[in-house]
Amino acid sequence: MSFEVTILGSSSATPIYQRHPTAQVLQVHERFFLVDCGEGTLIQLNRYQIKFHRINHIFISHLHGDHYLGLMGLLSTMHLQGRKTELHVFGPAALWEIIEVQLRHSQTELRYPIRFQAVNPDVPTVLYEDETLRVTTILLSHRIPCTGFLFEEQPKPRKIIKDKLAEYAIPLESYASLKAGEDLVLEDGRVVLNAELTTAPPPTRRYAYCSDTIYDERLVDIVKGVDLLYHESTFLHELADRAAETFHSTARQAATIAKKSGVKRLIIGHFSARYKSLYPLLEEAKEVFDNTTLAMEGDRFSIEG
């Protein structure tokens, strides 16, 4: 089952050098989740051949324009292309006001239902859950209310050891309880411990998306050990004061969070317009946490299952 992040944009507020503002798509199996939606997201989806009509869930981290200004164009194009499927949008409460005023003045009645859920920026919340995935907010500290998102696979079933099926003549109706970790009770009343019959499930994959945030060590526990961490990295550390002042992070700080939380891989993004070349940011991060990659448009990060 695929679990893959595609970078659509990674510029901070000023798009420059043909870099687009923040947007990503997470594909989990056949589901597509859009994470932030900066201006130009629709054209980026087209460019990277991701069918926008397959997106049913959109998560907006906060109301700075570089994270949401592509949303109205996307909603409007879905409408014009005849979408009927319900669309779920998660974001700050005021996002709905912004959507509604623009629909009203363009006299647009969307042909599909939008289910908008206001995100509470102060309490970690499960926003979405199905049989394979759970999405929870990550509280971030930025100039305005802002949340990241933690995408976690649901715990997977344990695997039954094939040889044991014959050995204990395990009936089909016991498979589910064994996969769920229960012990086996034989017909004669003997109990076989689950650990003898099954192996541990494959680990659940986790992706943590931390958009705009000041350096905040409270994140360490929340993203501990994730397979993939996206952490903003607006500045080089020589501008650490500027980062703190604007509630952003430096490349070194992003890498420090990655290191302290023992993640497997770090992606840095949200680059300031002052950096034409991004390699100094990458180098700075790698000094602290080697498995770091720049969020480049079109790049895909797949987590093996």
Nearest to 41 by CA among 66, 64, 62, 16: 66
| Using rule CB under 8 A, residue 40 touches a copy of itself | yes
Nearest to 179 by CA among 200, 163, 165, 162: 200
Adjacent-strand bridge partners of 150:
136, 208
For residues 26 and 300, give the distance between their C-alpha atoms in angstroms, rounded to a whole number: 10
Q: Which segment (15-23, 131-139, 174-182, 277-285) binds a copy of itself by CB under 8 A?
A: 15-23
| Using rule CB under 8 A, residue 16 touches a copy of itself | yes
| Using rule CB under 8 A, residue 98 touches a copy of itself | yes
Please, which residues have CB within 8 angstroms of residue 257's CB and are 6 or more apart in sequence? 210, 215, 216, 217, 219, 220, 223, 229, 231, 249
Cβ at position 282, least distance to a copy of itself in Å: 23
| Annotated active-site residue in 66, 130, 163, 221 | 66
| Using rule CB under 8 A, residue 94 touches a copy of itself | yes
Binds a copy of itself (CB under 8 A): choice among 1, 118, 126, 144? 144
Asked about 66 being catalytic, the answer comes back as yes
| Using rule CB under 8 A, residue 122 touches a copy of itself | no
Contact string 44-83 vs a copy of itself (x = CB under 8 A): --xx---------------xxxx--xx-xx--xx--xx--
Q: Which segment (9-17, 168-176, 180-188, 275-283) binds a copy of itself by CB under 8 A?
A: 9-17
DSSP three-state, residue 19: coil
| Using rule CB under 8 A, residue 296 touches a copy of itself | no
Burial of 103 (0-12, 13-18, 19+ CB in 10 A): middle
For residues 46 and 32, give the distance between their C-alpha atoms in angstroms, rounded to a whole number: 14
* Structure-token pair, residue 227: 């397979």
**CB of 21 within 8 A of CB of 12?**
yes
Which residue lies nearer to a copy of itself by CB, 2 or 102?
102
Cβ at position 163, least distance to a copy of itself in Å: 56
Burial of 106 (0-12, 13-18, 19+ CB in 10 A): exposed
| Using rule CB under 8 A, residue 277 touches a copy of itself | no
Binding site for a copy of itself (CB under 8 A): 13-18, 20-21, 39-40, 42-43, 46-47, 63-66, 69-70, 72-73, 76-77, 80-81, 92, 94-95, 97-98, 101-102, 105-107, 143-144
Residues carrying an active site annotation: 66
